Amino acid sequence: MNPLVQRIIDTVGIDQATAEKAIGAILVFLQSEGPADKVKAMLASVPGSEALMAQAPTGGMLSMGGIMGLGQKLMGLGLGMGEISGISKQTMAFARENGAGDAVNEIVGSIPGLSQFV
């Protein structure tokens, strides 16, 4: 199993399918909102990032963008704010621990409102 997915299952207490979709949604959000070179470095530190991103929920007719849109997608998976915070923090910590610390810090600093969730 993907080590990040296992970490989310163990620390947040959600099922594998939800963890994969939630991580994917976060990674897609970062890819669309963050600096491309830094996000590329971060994605390289997350095994299976492309496969996880492919599982991310897509927006519906009333989908909004930005950090609120991400929150909407994650809540649509049945996640509460505590779970969303846990998944976000663990995902970023995993990337930092796997060599993308500087990139993660620059990504977080470049997206308004993100720092309060990670």
Q: Is residue 16 part of a domain?
A: yes
Q: Give domain status of residue 32, yes or no.
A: yes
pLDDT in tens, 16-26: 999 999 999 99
Contact between 70 and 117 (Cβ < 8 Å):
no
Residue 10's domain comprises 3-110
Rounded to a whole number of angstroms, the distance between the first and last alpha carbons of the chain is 24
Determine, yes or no, domain membership for 47. yes
Residue 106 within a domain: yes
**Is residue 115 included in any domain, yes or no?**
no
**Residue 61 falls inside a structural domain:** yes
- CB distance 111 to 50 below 8 Å: no
Domain count, the chain: 1
Per-residue pLDDT tens over the stretch 69-96: 899 999 999 999 999 999 999 999 999 9
> Is residue 88 assigned to a domain?
yes
Would 118 be classed as within a structural domain? no
Residue 18 CA neighbour count, 13 Å, CB half: 17
| pLDDT higher than threshold 80 for residue 28 | yes
